A and B are shown apart, each in its own frame.
Chain A
Amino acid sequence: KQEVTQIPAALSVPEGENLVLNCSFTDSAIYNLQWFRQDPGKGLTSLLLIQSSQREQTSGRLNASLDKSSGRSTLYIAASQPGDSATYLCAVKPNTGNQFYFGTGTSLTVIP
């Protein structure tokens, strides 16, 4: 069974810093990996989707990389802002089935 781990569980940084969130998974037979953002009590907002054949995806200040062979993905956030404060979740979709396996999330606080 796919296990997804996110480190650190919580992170607090001053505004303007660049930061990296980590996601690791145990089974490299994935179809894609998706990063989500969740604000308190709310649903999930998709940030970036990386196909298994891709190495990275970028959207604005966000860059996600994927190293399938080592079972790792990172989400890089440049020039962090207080509005980036949220929980960030990574999820992997296996080659079979439409189910996502989610990590436990990293709670990010950006201090003004």
Chain B
Amino acid sequence: KAGVTQTPRYLIKTRGQQVTLSCSPISGHRSVSWYQQTPGQGLQFLFEYFSETQRNKGNFPGRFSGRQFSNSRSEMNVSTLELGDSALYLCASSLDPGGDEQYFGPGTRLTVT
């Protein structure tokens, strides 16, 4: 069974631009969560989607948004990029919101210059 896949793996953007990251969960998993990882803040929860609906949202500005499609694939979008958005963005999938374990993808490394 294939794991969680994230595309692209690496991305370089300029301040002010916007970016879209994609996550395909494990087949059969319907819940997708997004996390931001930075050296200073560690891993921080962005949001969680289930059945195309956002169920939880972390403490991030409105520039960070996401969506989930009917096939459970999810995208997150960051608009008006800032230098501080440079991070590893990790996606995790689980069977459903009550699922015990989350399985993480390899992440997308975003660098904002």
Task: Give the distance in Å from the alpha carbon of A103 to the alpha carbon of B101 in the complex.
Answer: 17
In whole Å, how far is B81's beta carbon from the nearest beta carbon of chain A?
A: 21
Task: Give the distance in Å from the alpha carbon of A76 to the alpha carbon of B112 in the complex.
Answer: 38
Contact yes or no, A104 B107, CB < 8 A: no
Interface flag for B61 (CB, 8 Å): no
Known: A49-B100, A49-B101. Is A100-B45 also a contact (CB below 8 A)? yes
User: By DSSP majority rule, is chain A's interface helix, strand, loop, or mixed?
Assistant: strand
Interface flag for A44 (CB, 8 Å): yes
Question: Which residues 1-51 of A sit at the B interface, judged by CB distance below 8 A?
Answer: 32, 34, 36, 41-46, 49, 51
Chain A residue contacts of B44, Cβ below 8 A:
102
Chain B residue contacts of A34, Cβ below 8 A:
101-102
Number of interface residues of A (CB under 8 A): 22
Q: Which residue of A lies closest to B46 (CB)?
A: A99
Chain B residue contacts of A51, Cβ below 8 A:
100
Interface flag for A69 (CB, 8 Å): no
Number of interface residues of B (CB under 8 A): 29
Chain B residue contacts of A64, Cβ below 8 A:
none
Chain A residue contacts of B97, Cβ below 8 A:
97-98
Chain B residue contacts of A99, Cβ below 8 A:
33, 45, 48, 56, 58
Known: A49-B100, A49-B101, A98-B55. Is A44-B90 also a contact (CB below 8 A)? yes
Contact yes or no, B33 A36, CB < 8 A: no
Known: A89-B43, A97-B56, A98-B56. Is A43-B107 also a contact (CB below 8 A)? yes
